[in-house]
Amino acid sequence: MSTGTSPSSSPATQAVRLAPEARYADELARLHAADTDARPTGWKLSPRAVRRFILGDEKLQVSRKFYGDDPLVDRAIVTLMGHQGLMLVGEPGTAKSLLSELLAAAVSGDSGLTVQGTAGTTEDHIKYSWNYALLLAEGPSQRALVPSALYQAMRAGKLVRFEEITRCPPEIQDVLISLMSDKQLMIPELGDDARLYAQRGFNIIATANLRDRGVHEMSSALKRRFNFETVKPIRDHSFEVELVMAQLKRELDGGGESPVEVPRDVVALLVTTFQELRAGQTQDGAAIKGLDAVMSTAEAVNVAYAAALQARHFNGGRLTVREIAGQLQGVVLKDSTDDVKRVRHYFDTVVRERGKRDAQWKTFHDAARALWQ
């Protein structure tokens, strides 16, 4: 029976999204070959090479992958060499998870050791669980033990990522306190002296959204085990336009379909709208009401990508502000009904006034007007 794939196709080449250590395997190999600096025990690359992997190196043809605060990347790398964990906090969509992935890929060669924080996360998800069939047949043994991602990271001397840590109940968060202090994990089922010692190279990168920190506040004891770094939204307009253009091109090229024309001025209008609604202020300094919805660069890329797909398949293959206006509604209606009123006010005042002087903004206003009635 045919599977519908060619012999040259593999699950990896057809994957929607590869892990960074697989996606950038060639870059990591070039960095490793050229790396002459000292490496901390357990690290695949030196701190300087890790920085190059994340921020780019033209000489080695290494692409830039994280855009924003370069000194933050330096501080994050230094933290991971020490005894404290790294806590990345910020607004949703500011690439906290991306940065944690890139750090884990460069330092450990493995970004997949991840604990996902949810209301249902248990102590077993953080420490270990059991294969109950083997447990009943043989009793407690290493063979019956099912290691968590954190257990595997301690054993192998790697980084483990803890996503959305504040979504976990406080008692589950606090399981980390002794693990991070003592760097060992007791396994009483295997005997009084059974324990796992963390190997050099082990550390934790956690993430938390500023909007969600009140879900379950971290204890002071746990906070002391982390260095906190805030990942901030991009504020430079030209820089954000270039970033959205680059990300959009990457997404469109990866689809392997017919091309779509993406005018820069259309993306610039999208970025202007996002920045103003995000900051609660127009470019000329006039105050407006910001939105509860996430107006991050990542969301701007999502809007641009959806609009480009609409243009490609339904509207002649050229992206216009009409598609942007249509896709914007899906972002605004996610969180608060008040956001609809705020966006309507933004279009009735800021966008309408600009439309009197600029045809692009007038088209944007007219296309969006029906959406906010």
pLDDT tens per residue, range 74-131: 999 999 999 999 999 998 888 899 999 999 999 999 999 999 999 999 999 999 999 9
Same domain, 93 and 208: yes
DSSP 351: I
Which residue among 200, 230, 260 closes a domain? Answer: 230
Residue among 202, 307, 331, 327 at smallest CA distance from 248: 307
Residue 11 lies in a domain: no
In this structure, what token pair is assigned to residue 134? 């083997």
Same domain, 41 and 180: yes
- Do the beta carbons of residue 94 and residue 230 sit within 8 Å? no
Which residue among 184, 212, 230 closes a domain? Answer: 230
Q: Which domain holds residue 103?
A: 20-230
Residue 15 lies in a domain: no
Same domain, 226 and 267: no
Same domain, 174 and 304: no
For residue 329, the model assigns a pLDDT of 81
In this structure, what token pair is assigned to residue 308? 């480009």
| CA–CA dist 34, 49 (Å, integer) | 9
Provide DSSP, 223-239. Answer: HTTEEEEEEPPP--HHH
For residue 3, the model assigns a pLDDT of 41
| CA–CA dist 312, 28 (Å, integer) | 35
CA distances from 329 to 92, 177, 315, 340 (A): 18, 43, 19, 9
Average confidence score pLDDT of the chain: 90
Same domain, 281 and 361: yes
CB atoms within 10 A of CB 9: 11
Same domain, 359 and 217: no
Q: Which helix (H) or strand (E) holds 186?
A: strand 184-186
- Domains in the chain: how many in total? 2
Which residue among 230, 254, 283 closes a domain? Answer: 230
Section 290-313 average pLDDT: 90
Residue 14 lies in a domain: no
82-94 residue pLDDT tens: 999 999 999 888 8
| CA–CA dist 51, 129 (Å, integer) | 36
- Do the beta carbons of residue 192 and residue 233 sit within 8 Å? no
Same domain, 161 and 279: no
Same domain, 40 and 114: yes
Residue 332 has pLDDT above 80, yes or no: no
Same domain, 59 and 188: yes
User: 3-state DSSP call for residue 352?
Assistant: helix
Residue 1 lies in a domain: no
